[in-house]
Amino acid sequence: MPPRRPTEVELELLQLLWDQGPSTVREIYNLLDGKRGYTSVLKHFQIMLDKGLVDRELNGQSHRYSAQDSEQDTQRSIVRHLVDGAFRKSSHALVMHALDERETTAEELAEIRKLIDKLETEQKNEP
């Protein structure tokens, strides 16, 4: 079976499906506002169907596509792949690069602190 990790284009299409819900190729094509041709969008959906990234349901004369996995599950899979590969199984390296690469808001830093506090608490409570 081919890998289930989406390419950049596939991820862009999945994000539209997560936002819009089940959609036809035409609906997604229209949302792309000319960034891609109709046949290109159709071909990507066919590839994504073969990879198991989307489901397809016949609805009248057209097919409606939906993401097979949730956005959160897909993000987890991508992060796991990045950590295992590019960051040599180091979550620390991934987080350090992510925080250094983009400006982080005070709200985002507060959420990160809460997550760290939660993880530290869970570690202390482990047997």
Residue 100 CA, distance from chain mean position? 22
Whether residue 120 has pLDDT greater than 70: yes
Q: Write down the domain spans for the chain.
A: 8-67, 90-125
Q: Which CATH architecture has domain 8-67?
A: Orthogonal Bundle (1.10)
Q: Could you please report the per-residue DSSP string of 16-39?
A: HHHHH-SB-HHHHHHHTTTSS-HH
Token output for 61? 């004369």
pLDDT value, residue 89: 93
Contact by Cβ (8 Å): 68, 55: yes
Note the pLDDT tens digit of each residue in 50-78: 999 999 999 889 999 999 999 999 999 99
Pairwise CA distance, residues 54 & 47, whole Å: 9
Whether residue 42 has pLDDT greater than 50: yes
Say what the pTM is.
Answer: 0.84
| Band (2; pLDDT cuts 50, 70, 90) | very low
- 3-state percent breakdown (helix, strand, coil) of the chain, nearest 5: 60, 10, 30
Note the pLDDT tens digit of each residue in 67-108: 999 999 999 999 999 999 999 999 999 999 999 998 999 999
